[in-house]
Structure 1
Amino acid sequence: MSASLPVTIEDIEAAGRRISGHVIATPLVASASLSKLCGVPVSLKLEHHQSTGSFKLRGATNAVLSLTTEERARGVIAASTGNHGRALAHAAKAEGAVATICMSQLVPTNKVTEIRRLGADVRIFGNSQDEAQEEVERLVAERGLVMVPPFDHPAIVAGQGTLGLEIATQMPDVAMVLVPISGGGLAAGVAAAIKARRPAVRVVGLTMERGAAMKASLAAGKPVLIEEQPSLADSLGGGIGLDNRVTFQMCRELLDDIILLTEAEIAAGMRHSYRQEREIVEGAAAVGIAALLAGKIKDIGGPIAVILSGRNVDMDLHLSVMNGETDPFREGVA
């Protein structure tokens, strides 16, 4: 692993000490059904059990606690597809700071409502994460707010990396980690932590076919713009930023692969999580299970850890998927 990476194992360990007591160390539980399917032990990292319903609380808490008193007093701001906004609103409120969250019109209503409940100033702007980010930058310039990006920030990546430290401790013989990927904050942090502790472990990113920004950027050799589209994995939407400074480099150097899932495969992952594992997760959290069910994970050499990243799904949408819907966003349906 390159010594020049923007986030190191020391940064992640420091984040772990900083956020201790503010987030929970989530369980890693064996899945009998997936272990039988794969022929190796498969365990699920229940990160959706965090108080805000997703892993995002780790990075947001680390970022807020890393700010000076003066910076917190100015207020924090971020663009979000929902889960980062909820986590940042929660972390800011706990420290007496005001959060402003900018989201596109694609963000599900249930996520917007919860962020407002936490006292954040919510701005709905544009039809993509990139357009919401434009509003963030305008308000930073106009009001002097402190930007806390959803993924491309060392403190965010270090906070998310604490999840990887937990997996390495909970499953010392882990051979592969399956991690949802969007902008790369979670994947970069987990990969940095896992490979620092267990260099031979394969870390594989999973995302939807519709708008796989990091996959397209890595293929192009640089950050690129992609069209954001509605998906069951809405939390994985959005670009990685053309001026990406942290996660593109880390994902390029640390990830072993990125695998794409269809909407039908993601729906199958959600159904398996509910029916077999008794866990309610959003589409973005089901991509690891989906990849295993679809037979898309190759060269399985040992125990697998699958990260279930969030539970903040619209329950009417969840019900429709449980009842057999495979693509509620296809033309003419949504």
Structure 2
Amino acid sequence: MIAGHVVRTPLVPTITLSNDAGVPVHLKLEHQQVTGSFKLRGAANALLSLDPERRARGVVAASTGNFGRALAFAASQAGVPAVICMSKLVPGNKVEAIRALGAEVRIVGTSQDDAQEEVDRLSAEHGMAMLPPFDHADVIAGQGTIGLELLEDLPDLETVVVPLSGGGLLAGIALAVKSANPRARLIGVTMERGAAMHASLRAGMPVLVEEVESLADSLGGGVGLANRHSFTLVRDLVDDVVLVSETRIADAIRFAYRQEQQVVEGAGAVGIAALMAGLIERPGRTIIVLSGRNIDMNRHAEIVSGQPAEATRA
């Protein structure tokens, strides 16, 4: 359904990481997607799957930035009104990028949960279709097309390293990859600060986690206490989840730029951070998904120049 609406992103070998890890390592350049992140796949699939009459009433979503940008783009292409609700923690560059695509932006509270309350109200009062950024079957299916591409490009893959937030990306890729290759290992990587899915997996159920600023701002937000899909899929299909520090995220952003000539945001760099830190045991033939590039370029310049790894400034 999304063919023609998204880019089939390249899978490229990385000599430096391969030499450091002692195994073949490839990078999935999903940050080269049209809107700068993988989110367009799920957003486009969910939007196009809506009944035309419901779609015409408009769509609404909560976002930490990248899903909102993707949904705003997909909605503009389809001529559909869109409202994106975000918290005050979302960096300004991501907010402005969404506005530039014609979507209405609402800044609500200091967490993804606060933004979701506004989404629920708009959906109930105006009949807008609510499209969650990760916990939605069509969104997960859209993200799963990445896994299909990985299998086509590197059928003998052994380990796939994927950024982890609400779990839509990791769940979709894991479903696709493990269906064809059950022995493949799927590793989720997230930041140490406010890692909601990691905390929920440890608790055995979705739990609330305080949102705090992080270089990996796109990985912020909760998983939803009423999570229907992504928590269970991540719990059942993913082999391990590892955490990386702010310093390691900054190092990975710097490495991606200097060694790979790739501009990636903090969330997109966490897989590189985990591999560089030796947190992926026995990786074998490895793919690292670079999930997004939507970083404030002034902040990127600071990180690349070696300034301290402090939290992203909105």
For residues 147 and 311 of structure 2, the distance between their equivalents in structure 1, rounded to whole angstroms, comes to 33
SS of the residue aligned with 2:260? coil
**Deviation digits for residues 302-333 of structure 1, max 9, x if unmatched?**
21000000000001111111111242229xx9
Aligned pairs for 1:132-171 within 5 A? 132-171=115-154
Pair 1:130 & 2:113 matched: yes
Q: Which residue identity is paired with 1:325? A: Q
Q: Is structure 2 residue 287 aligned with structure 1 residue 305?
A: yes
1: distance between equivalents of 2:2 and 2:20? 36
Which ranges of structure 1 fall in alignment gaps of 5 or more residues? 1-17
SS of the residue corresponding to residue 100 of structure 1 reads strand
Partner AA of 2:298 in structure 1: D
TM-score for both structures, normalised by structure 1: 0.93
CA distance in 1, matches of 2:47, 2:311: 35
**Which amino acid in the other structure matches residue 145 of structure 1?**
M
Partner of 1:267: 250
Are 2:69 and 1:62 aligned?
A: no
Q: CA RMSD for the aligned pairs?
A: 1.1
- One-letter code aligned to 1:316: N
Q: Which residue of 1 aligns with 2:297?
A: 315
User: In structure 2, what is the Cα distance between the partners aligned to 1:198 and 1:65?
Assistant: 29
Deviations 1:234-258 (A, max 9, x none): 0000000000000000000000000
AA at the equivalent of 1:305: I
* 1:236 and 2:219 aligned: yes
Q: In the alignment, what sits opposite 1:104?
A: 87
2:55 corresponds to which of 72, 80, 85 = 72
CA contact (8 A) 1:263 1:326 kept: no
TM-score (norm: length of structure 2): 0.98
- Out of 211, 214, 217, the residue aligned to residue 200 of structure 2 is 217
- Say whether 1:327 aligns with 2:309: yes
Q: How many residues get paired?
A: 314
Counterpart of 1:88? 71
Q: 1:260 and 1:216 mapped to 2: Cα distance?
A: 11
Q: Is the 8 A contact 1:29 1:45 kept in 2?
A: yes
Distance 1:68 1:160 in 2: 20
CA distance in 1: counterparts of 2:204 and 2:34, whole angstroms: 37
Aligned-residue offset at 1:139: 1.1
State how far apart, in whole Å, the 1-side matches of 2:194 and 2:310 are: 16
Report SS of the residue matched to 1:29: strand
User: Secondary structure of the equivalent of 1:161?
Assistant: helix
- Secondary structure of 1:205's counterpart equals strand
For 1:164 and 1:269, how far apart are their aligned partners in 2?
23
Unmatched runs of 5 consecutive residues or more in structure 2: none
- Identity over aligned residues, as a percent? 60
The one-letter code matched in structure 1 to 2:98 is I
